[in-house]
Every structure is written in C-alpha cells, then in structure tokens.
C-alpha cells in the first residue's frame, strides 16, 4: 500500500500537539508502508522539512511567503479574505499554487490512499481524483471557533470568531461528505461528526504518547510548583492560562501563598506576558528545546482550558512523566481518564483551586495519582499501538477502493 500524507502548516518543529501526533503516526506508518509527505507552510530559516526523508520515502515541501501573525500584511490578507467563503485560517495556507502542485504529484505517482491531515488541508485536496481519501481530524474545528465566540468579551474578536465558525462549519461538513473515510481522535468528535455522515465511514483512534521519551524522574519535583505546557499561540491555551491567572491562582494562593507557576511553550503574546509580569512567581518561558525538565520539576500539572476540541496530547505527556494532573472536563475531553483515579477534574475556579491545593499538600496522593497516570498510558497508548489502528483503516479503505475498481473493470 502506497500512502500520500498531505499536511498544511508543516510538520516540524514539533511544537504543537497536532504536529506531534501527526509526526509519530506518520513515522510509524512509514515503517509499514511506502509513505510520501506533501506539506506546505510558512517559510522560515533552518527549515527541517527536507530532513524528514530520514523517516518517509519522499518529502514534497512548499514553503510559502506568509506574513507574520498580526502584521500589516497579515491584516491586509485577512481584510481581502472577508469577501471570500473561506475561513482565514484556511486561506492563509491553501493557495492555488499549492493545489496545483499537489494535483501534479498525485498524477505522477500511483497512490493507494491519500491522508488529508487536518480539516484545513481539505481546501487543496483534489477531491475529484480517483484515489481514496481519508480525512484525519484532530478536532471539531467549527466547535472550537464557536466556543471562542461564546467566551470572548471583545466585540471585534467575537466578530472574527463568528465568521471563522460559520465558514468552517460549512466546509467541515462538505469535506466530511467528500472523504471516503473520516478518522477522529476521540469518541466525542466521532459522535459529533456522525450527525453529518454515516457511522460506517467514521472511526476514532486513540491519542498516543512516547512512553520512552517521557518518564518520571525521582527527586526532580519542586515543592508548590505548578506547570502548564502548550503552544501559547493556540488561542485555547492562552485563554486557559489567562483564566487561571485571573480566577484560579489567587484562590490557590489564599492557602499556599508561595505557589509558583511555569507556563512552557512557544510564542506567548504580549498580553499574556504583561498579565504574568504583574504576578510574583509566574514564569513564561517561550519556546524551549525540551519540555521534560519543566514537567519533571512540577509538583502538579494544570490544564485549565475552557475552549478546545480533539484530545490534549499534553495530558498524556504529563501522565507519562508520572505527574498528578488537574484539568477541566473540557481539557481532558475525549481522553480515557477517570476522575479521582488517574486525574482530578474540576470546572469551577473554586473547585479547581481546591483540588490543586489538595495535591500540593498531600505528597502521598500526588504519588498515587502520578503512578496511576503513568500505568494508564504505558500499557495502552504507545504510538506503535495507535498507528496499528490507523494503518488498519487505511488498508481497509485502499482495499475497498481496489476491489470496487476491479469489479467495475469486469462488469
């Protein structure tokens, strides 16, 4: 089975949950089947995409001249896109020259199946070509933007979020229907999409984690230290941390005044840095080469998300590192976790703070939660086992297409 994997926004560096998930599944898949990668992304120095040929059969790279976020060029492009039916998050990358190049690649090679990685990639997929296509969704994108609209208090941002929500909802439904099969990363997302397409062409696969890379480090934990990891230019992460600083951290400090918080991840906004700068003991790192030292020093890992979709790889990474985790219900949405057994869940600020304090004060409870968390991911969620599920779907879709083609030739 020859596979073409198509991904917008690039694949490296591995600085978002989606990239991490895609990279590990793609790498494992390429060990089993000849797999090519076609990816397009904002051009940047020290581009590591050509080096991905170490893992896959062939890499087709298309670096694009895309204006930096919130620059004059970016705002001008956004304004021009207002008159189109495309969401801006899609129009930014999915340009006509990309669609044309992808079509050429698919005409020049014989692929048994094409993976459209992320809904936003769908705008360049030649849906009219005969190769069977599997849409790999990491979230319900429309739902994320709907939640942005619901929680935002800024009128301009609400208008932006409303436009993205409505344009994405329309296209998300179209690509679901055009794909031969749809993969989700949680049962919640699968059930959501089942409103629009038949359950026979839908399946959920687990999120995985590199259980060798992430491990507990005895003795590294610092008392009364909280940690959060994630791409800080992903709006649900920024919203969650700002909410934590405003509503939850002050409540924790009523009981433990000396508590500190590390926020680890790329591209923190000036707004977040300013908010953190007003508070003692809050450290914003920006991009780091290795999140493990920060994970290991944390006594408690927090996930105060109010917006999102899909599943949070960050939680599995913290669990693999043997950390006790406190999350909102939405933050842990779609993950096979059990409140009170391998994670603590809380949605109201007062309850979230209470559970954080409970863990910080009780080393025995922290250790028990951390061990249970590690056992859960170690036994069930390695990338090899996740890719086995993924590969089985591709083989089934490619096989069905081949059988159908064969039957039509002999009818």
pLDDT, tens digit (0-9, with 9 covering 90-100), for 37-63: 999 999 988 899 999 999 999 999 999
**Whether residue 23 sits in one domain with residue 92:** yes
- Using CA atoms, how far apart are residues 138 and 141, in angstroms rounded to an integer? 8
Mean pLDDT of the region 14-32 = 93
Q: What's the pLDDT at 281?
A: 96
**Whether residue 131 sits in one domain with residue 22:** yes
Helix, strand, coil fractions of the chain, as percent rounded to 5: 50, 15, 35
Decide if 123 is inside a domain. yes
Count of CB atoms situated within 10 Å of the CB of 36: 20
Decide if 175 is inside a domain. yes
Mean pLDDT of the region 375-390 = 89
Cβ contact 98:40 at 8 Å: yes
By C-alpha distance, which of 337, 282, 283, 297 is closest to 315? Answer: 337
**Whether residue 274 sits in one domain with residue 192:** no
**Whether residue 199 sits in one domain with residue 112:** yes
Decide if 334 is inside a domain. yes
Q: What's the pLDDT at 409?
A: 46
Decide if 358 is inside a domain. yes
More confident residue, 395 or 69: 395
**Whether residue 268 sits in one domain with residue 365:** yes
Boundaries of domain holding 350? 225-380
Q: What is the pTM of this model?
A: 0.80
Q: How confident is the model at residue 384 (pLDDT cuts 50, 70, 90)?
A: confident
Half-sphere exposure of 109 toward its Cβ, with a 13 Å CA cutoff?
23
Half-sphere exposure of 207 toward its Cβ, with a 13 Å CA cutoff?
30
Q: What's the pLDDT at 145?
A: 87
Q: What's the pLDDT at 313?
A: 86
Q: How confident is the model at residue 403 (pLDDT cuts 50, 70, 90)?
A: low
**Whether residue 203 sits in one domain with residue 243:** no
More confident residue, 309 or 74: 74
Phi-psi region of 46 (alpha: psi -120 to 50; beta: other; left: phi over 0): left
pLDDT > 60? residue 411? no
Decide if 214 is inside a domain. no
**Whether residue 237 sits in one domain with residue 170:** no
Cβ contact 271:53 at 8 Å: no
CATH number for the domain harbouring residue 394: 3.40.50.2000
Phi-psi region of 224 (alpha: psi -120 to 50; beta: other; left: phi over 0): left
Q: How many domains does the chain have?
A: 2
Q: What percentage of the chain reaches a pLDDT higher than 90?
A: 72
Cβ contact 164:145 at 8 Å: yes
Query: What does the mean pLDDT of the chain come to?
Result: 92
Q: What's the pLDDT at 311?
A: 61
pLDDT > 70? residue 410? no
């Amino acid at each position: 089975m020859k596979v073409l994997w198509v991904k917008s926004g690039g694949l490296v560096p591995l600085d978002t949950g989606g990239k991490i998930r895609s990279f590990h599944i793609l790498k494992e898949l390429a060990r089993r089947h000849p797999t090519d990668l076609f990816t397009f992304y904002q051009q940047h120095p020290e581009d590591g995409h050509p080096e991905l040929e170490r893992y896959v059969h062939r890499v087709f790279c298309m670096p694009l001249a895309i204006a930096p976020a919130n620059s004059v060029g970016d705002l001008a492009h956004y304004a021009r896109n207002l008159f189109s039916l495309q969401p801006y998050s899609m129009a930014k990358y999915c340009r006509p020259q990309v669609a044309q190049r992808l079509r050429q690649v698919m005409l020049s090679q014989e692929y048994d199946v094409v993976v459209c990685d992320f809904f936003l990639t769908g705008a360049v997929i030649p849906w009219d070509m005969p190769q069977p296509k599997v849409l790999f969704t990491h979230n319900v994108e429309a739902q994320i933007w709907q939640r942005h609209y619901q929680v935002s208090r800024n009128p301009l941002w609400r208008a932006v979020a409303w436009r993205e929500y409505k344009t994405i909802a329309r296209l998300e439904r179209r690509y679901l229907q055009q794909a031969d099969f749809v993969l989700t990363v949680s049962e919640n997302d699968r059930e959501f999409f089942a409103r629009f397409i038949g359950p026979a062409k839908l399946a959920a696969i687990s999120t995985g984690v590199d259980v060798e890379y992430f491990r507990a480090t005895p003795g590294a934990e610092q008392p009364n230290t909280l940690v959060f990891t994630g791409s800080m230019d992903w709006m649900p992460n920024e919203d969650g941390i700002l909410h934590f600083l405003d509503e939850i951290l002050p409540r924790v400090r009523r009981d433990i005044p000396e508590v500190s918080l590390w926020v680890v991840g790329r591209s923190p906004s000036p707004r977040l840095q300013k908010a953190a700068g007003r508070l003692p003991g809050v450290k914003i790192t920006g991009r780091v080469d290795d999140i493990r030292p920060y994970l290991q020093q944390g006594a408690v890992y927090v996930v105060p998300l109010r917006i999102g979709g899909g599943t949070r790889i960050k939680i599995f990474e913290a669990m693999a590192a043997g950390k006790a985790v406190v999350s909102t219900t939405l933050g842990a949405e779609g993950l096979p976790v059990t409140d009170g057994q391998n994670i603590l869940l809380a949605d109201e600020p007062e309850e979230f703070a209470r559970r954080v304090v409970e863990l910080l004060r009780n080393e025995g409870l922290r250790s028990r939660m951390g061990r249970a968390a590690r056992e859960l991911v170690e036994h069930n969620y390695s990338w090899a086992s996740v890719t086995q599920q993924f590969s089985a779907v591709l083989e089934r879709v490619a096989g069905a297409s081949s059988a159908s083609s064969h039957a039509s030739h002999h009818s």
